[in-house]
Amino acid sequence: MRMEGILRLEQERTARDAGLATSSSEKQPIPEKSSKAKTRRPTLPHGDRPLEHPHLNLDRGVRAAIARLSAGVSVHAFIEAWTDWAFHMCESPGRQFELAERARQNALKLAGHLANLGTDVVPPFAPKPYDHRFEYPGWLKPPFQMWQQGFLAVQDWWDHATDHLRGLRPEDADRTRFMARQALDTVSPSNFPSLNPEIIAATVATGGRNLTEGAAHFAEDLLKTLTQTHDPAPEGFRVGQALACTPGTVVFRNDLFELIQYAPQAAEVQAEPVLIVPAWIMKYYILDLSPHNSMVNYLVSQGFTVFMISWCNPTAEQADLSLEDYRRTGVMTALDAVNAIVPDRKVHAVGYCLGGTILAITTATMARQRDDRLASITLMAAQVDFAEAGELLLFVDESQVAFLEDMMWDQGYLDRPQMARTFSTIRSEDLIWSRAVRRYFLGQDDLPTDMGVWVADTTRMPARMHSQYLRSLFLENRLTAGRFAVEGRVIALKDISAPMFVIATETDHIAPWKSVYKTQLFTDCDLTFVLTSGGHNSGIVNQPGNPRSRYHASHRPTGAFYVGPDDWLAKATAREGSWWPEWKIWLEGKSSGLVPPPASGAPDRGLAPIVAAPGTFVFQT
């Protein structure tokens, strides 16, 4: 069997986990396909309890059908939020008077501005920083500015109407604000050709060709949505050619992942290798985009031996994959393989997004087991505490999770469009409506970019794993509450002693920076924290030479007192440029020096090279 070389390491670790000594005669290889599920429908909900009664399964089938129609969004949860808000508003005459006064003030501001239309007077209402719908200069001219200001005045009123209210559950207030914003976005004047000056100008300039081309785009997109088909990447953006093209070799493969070892680019490399754990909600090559912005290429060029996990794109047959599978058969098996290829050296472990969360769980478990194989830990835009997880929390309560579980129970996974819609609605102004105007009314094609090609190359989430993730981490926040168990025993992040490098991004709406910052609250180890410009992806893919890059950084020694995020930001050192060079220097400081680069794989240990990078799993659809 191919895994023979590292199976002995895996079996010894298994014995250590159980607190048992294993003799050489008792060592058995781990089946290479142990993670593959045989059943299509996972055992959900609430852990691992199957639902056997046919009436209950009928209920779940009906809810699964409703969930598909609503993209997994629970209507019950939203009705409950509106009801909670409406009842508390009825009991708050003071807030009603305040809102009436707000409406009067906004009306007076609008009336006053109407009297000065066409002048250089600053409009009373401004779009939000992330709202680009009104950037066209024509919105500053009458009558378009009147429509724009009227819309923004109503938006301002609803922002105040759905603000937190005494007695109203904060999550219900946030949810009603979110729903009010979504409803208002549908009637924005920018969405209507007769009210949008940019569409009118384009129609006049092209003789209406923009509308006919936009109609063709709409028909094309509708057909793709109905048939669930995707266009191949355009020329110049093909995976393995222009993207994910750093030279390397797949040196290990099981049903869950492929392990890529990248070819050295220097005569000497740092003795300690780097193992990167990306999120399985995305293809790994966000960290190996084009050569100029590839984090992998940067690390290799700076003299590091880099290994990358390339996760499989799970199907219905893998519905029973669990978080523990991703930890044990994924991260730990990859670590064992790296140790076999680069023996007697510790490893720099790097986790991005959800990959960082599972890496934190893994390292806390290793610390409990006195497993000291890690030289350092880097967490990039990764949360360990989910109490402040931003607008994604709007989609996570008991009703929401149950809806998603029923839908996944029926199809075996959370599908790609269902996840994409969730992320898009969080910034619907730009990701949905602005794109729709450009494509369907202005007739503009989407300009291909390496990041855009990667965004469209989405993956699925196994049903059991995603249910565990939503319940144990998002819904119940067990990891930092001291209630997250691995192999029957609770783990603690404070057990981690390896130095940490934690990166958060300023405008991250998936892992808000103050949520990522809380890693400092739940650990005691030596920790460097960086807050960089950009969002969840653009802040991490932040190559040197980007003129808009900046970051704040600080170092917390072992055992130092906790400092809150606002106080930290006020005192942290501000620096221009990319954070990558600082991270490179930090990794070098945690390494033991330069050595000749290791060979590709370890054939004598069952880790012979299989296929050239980027491997085969990255092409799974």
Which residues carry out catalysis? 353
Count CA atoms closer than 13 A to 108's CA, side-chain side: 6
| b/e sequence 248-278, b meaning 16+ C-beta within 10 Å | bbbbbbbbbbbbbbbebbeeebbbbbbbbbb
Distance CA 318, CA 334 (A): 19
Query: How do beta strands 257-262 and 306-311 pair?
Result: antiparallel
- 43 residue type, one letter: T
Contacts of 410 (CB under 8 A, 6+ apart): 41, 60, 61, 64, 65
Give the distance from CA 551 to its chain's centroid. 20
Count CA atoms closer than 13 A to 109's CA, side-chain side: 19
Backbone angles phi, psi at 330, to 5 degrees: -95, -85
Query: How do beta strands 274-277 and 306-311 pair?
Result: parallel
Count CA atoms closer than 13 A to 371's CA, side-chain side: 22
Q: Any bridge partners for residue 7, and if so which?
A: none
Distance CA 613, CA 287 (A): 14
Distance CA 266, CA 29 (A): 36
Distance CA 341, CA 359 (A): 20
Contacts of 175 (CB under 8 A, 6+ apart): 77, 78, 81, 394
Asked if 156 contacts 125 with a C-beta cutoff of 8 angstroms, the reply is: yes
Q: Count the residues in the chain.
A: 621
R_g over Cα of the chain: 26
Contacts of 394 (CB under 8 A, 6+ apart): 171, 174, 175, 178
Find the angle CA(130)-CA(131)-CA(135) to the nearest 5 degrees: 120
DSSP state, residue 595? E
3-state secondary structure (DSSP) of residue 262? strand
Distance CA 131, CA 429 (A): 6
Among the residues of 469-579, which ranges form H helices? 478-481, 513-517, 565-571
3-state secondary structure (DSSP) of residue 352? strand
The residue with tokens 């910052």 is 517
Find the angle CA(175)-CA(178)-CA(179) to the nearest 5 degrees: 90
Asked if 338 contacts 271 with a C-beta cutoff of 8 angstroms, the reply is: no
Cis? peptide before 129, omega within 30° of 0: no
Among the residues of 162-254, which ranges form H helices? 170-186, 197-206, 209-227
